Amino acid sequence: WHVLLSFSGLVALIQLLFLPFFPESPPYLLLQKGDKAGCLKAMKQLWGEGNYQTEFDDLMKEKSVTKGTKIMNVLEVLRERSVYPQLLTLLLLLLSLQLCGLKIFQTANLQESIIPYVSLGVSISELISIIFCSSIIDRFGRRILVCGGYLLMALILVLLETSLLLSDRFLWLRYCNVILIFLFVIAYGIGP
């Protein structure tokens, strides 16, 4: 279990070591830094030799469209009152995801020894939802996925609460609880 947990740290360390050798993103160099030569150089470095004038022209059009728009840093966004409802919603969702897992597994009367494997299953569910979402987002659009995800999450939570209440009577519902948690994580990953 400790090896699995440290694996993400190993991947982060490898990324940290190799990241300085990669160029900056071409849109970042052009749109935020105003470095045209650096943008073209980064395009050639990332995509190989070729003519990228069309992509460069698209970025220039985007730059002219967003010319009057002020780019805000994280602190400026946090000070902006108009985004407080969205930030609060996001914070509540993230906190609820962080706090619900272990307690639900204990409430579901799962053996302590299998809870780490169920947690691993939740992580695999997150991976599945990311892969699935990235393949369907262009077809359905963000709005449908978010609304559908919230509705699906609400339905799953109702089923989970009912299943938790009845799990003392029917032992097989303990496994349904785990499946419903996996489905909740997948619905969260696809939508919100």
Residue 78 binned pLDDT confidence (cut-offs 50, 70, 90):
confident
Q: Are residues 121 and 177 in the same domain?
A: yes
3 vs 55, higher pLDDT: 55
- pTM, two decimals, is 0.48
Q: Are residues 119 and 185 in the same domain?
A: yes
Q: Are residues 39 and 127 in the same domain?
A: no
Last residue of a domain, one of 67, 92, 109: 67
Mean pLDDT for the chain?
A: 78
Q: Are residues 52 and 17 in the same domain?
A: yes
Q: Are residues 79 and 171 in the same domain?
A: yes
Q: Are residues 105 and 164 in the same domain?
A: yes
Q: Give the pair of three-digit tokens for residue 5.
A: 């947990």
Q: Are residues 90 and 10 in the same domain?
A: no
Q: Are residues 152 and 58 in the same domain?
A: no
By residue range, what is the domain housing residue 21?
1-67
Q: What is the pLDDT of residues 32-72, one digit of tens each?
A: 788 888 888 888 888 888 787 888 888 888 888 777 777 67
**CA dihedral defined by 118, 121, 126, 128, rounded to 10 degrees?**
-160
Taking only Cα atoms into account, the Rg of the chain, rounded to an integer number of angstroms, comes to 22
Residue 143 binned pLDDT confidence (cut-offs 50, 70, 90):
confident
Last residue of a domain, one of 42, 67, 92: 67
Q: Are residues 54 and 148 in the same domain?
A: no
For the cut 60, the answer to whether the pLDDT of residue 1 exceeds it is no
Instruction: Report pLDDT for 103.
Output: 60
Q: Are residues 130 and 168 in the same domain?
A: yes
CA distance 108 to 160: 10
CA distance 75 to 130: 28
Residue 142 binned pLDDT confidence (cut-offs 50, 70, 90):
confident
Instruction: Report pLDDT for 94.
Output: 66
For the cut 60, the answer to whether the pLDDT of residue 75 exceeds it is yes
For the cut 60, the answer to whether the pLDDT of residue 140 exceeds it is yes
DSSP class per residue in 96-165: HHHHHHHHHHHHTT--GGGHHHHHHHHHHHHHHHHHHHHHHHHHH-HHHHHHHHHHHHHHHHHHHHHHHH
Q: Work out the average pLDDT over 78-92.
A: 84
Instruction: Report pLDDT for 133.
Output: 75
Q: What's the total number of domains in the chain? A: 2
Q: Work out the average pLDDT over 7-34.
A: 81
Q: Are residues 181 and 133 in the same domain?
A: yes
36 vs 2, higher pLDDT: 36
Last residue of a domain, one of 67, 82, 109: 67
Q: What is the pLDDT of residues 95-109, one digit of tens each?
A: 666 555 556 666 666
Q: Are residues 53 and 107 in the same domain?
A: no
